[in-house]
Amino acid sequence: MQAFPNPALNLDGGGKAPALPLGGMGIPLILFGLSVYFWESPIVYPIKLLTVFFHELSHGLAAVLTGGSMHSIELTADQGGLCWTAGGSWWLILSAGYLGSLLWGAGILYMAAKTRLDRELVQFLGVLLIGVTVFYVRTTAGVIFGLSFGAAMVGFASQFGEVACDQLLRYIGLSSMFYVILDIKSDLIDRAVPQSDAYRLAEQLHLPSMVVGVAWLILAIYVAFLVLEATMKAERASKPR
């Protein structure tokens, strides 16, 4: 009797997905290290602005989820951002900026490591960027960024395969998580920025801004460590179809 291969075992054209270093985290870690080294380079600028986008969107989503509303988002060319909301839980809305963008990064990284929906997730993020930009972003720099970066992600997913999309998602997730840590440290540990979310939250709670900053920083580092540890252990070939 002639044996035929089981079709269910034919992955990506008849074999396993290519083995990548450090459970698929090798290339994203290298890219992130280069990003930190070239932090002021224009090449890294879109990733920084993407994290600001996640930050402001998280404020708006927190308002909506706690009974309020999101009116508009402002993104500026100098990586500034503002989300106009009404109603909702003020302390959750203020907390949602830094911690929300941290969770966006963690979620993207985790999904990339644990599923084979990499192309679909890149497309989803691209469509999300475009949709939020059309309906909520009200600054020229923000509109240009949201539409161009969103279109670029949709185009990337249509032109490249699962592995390339997986590596892009891991890099975006990693960068978003650690950018939040650097941002919290810059705004609250190195110096007190009165316009920052944590500073305003500390005023409402009658606490020193340093206390809120340290608490958020510890939580951000802990979440980043847990997610990074989980993804480092994940084997690409073990992803379910």
Phi-psi region of 154 (alpha: psi -120 to 50; beta: other; left: phi over 0): alpha
Do 110 and 228 form a contact (C-beta atoms < 8 A)?
no
| pTM of the predicted model as reported, rounded to 2 decimal places | 0.83
Residue 168 vs residue 20, higher pLDDT = 168
Are 198 and 173 contacting, i.e. CB atoms less than 8 angstroms apart? Answer: no
DSSP conformation class of 19 = P
Structure tokens at 35: 């990003």
- Determine, yes or no, domain membership for 165: yes
Asked if residue 11 lies in contact with residue 151, where contact means CB atoms within 8 angstroms, the answer is: no
Expressed as residue numbers, the domain containing 164 is 22-35+43-75+88-176
Give the per-residue pLDDT at 133.
Answer: 97
**Distance (Å, rounded) from C-alpha 22 to C-alpha 117?**
20
What is each CA distance from 209 to 187, 189, 201, 216, in whole angstroms?
A: 10, 9, 8, 11
- Helix crossing, 140-159 with 162-184: angle to 10°? 150
What value does the mean pLDDT of the chain take? 83
Give the containing element (helix H, strand E) for 53: helix 45-65
pLDDT of 196 reads 72
For 120-178, what is each residue's pLDDT tens digit? Answer: 999 999 999 999 999 999 999 999 999 999 999 999 999 999 999 999 999 999 999 88
95-119 per-position pLDDT tens digit? 898 888 899 999 999 898 888 899 9
> What was the pLDDT predicted at 138?
93
Is residue 114 assigned to a domain?
Answer: yes
Q: Structure tokens of 76?
A: 């500026």
Q: Grade residue 236 by pLDDT with cuts at 50, 70 and 90.
A: very low
Within-domain flag for 118: yes
- Could you tell me if residue 126 is inside a domain? yes
pLDDT at 61: 96
73-99 pLDDT tens trace? 999 998 889 999 999 998 899 889 888
Cα separation, 128 vs 112, whole angstroms: 17
* pLDDT at res. 180: 81
Residue 103 lies in a domain: yes
Number of domains in the chain: 1
Asked if residue 49 belongs to a domain, the reply is yes
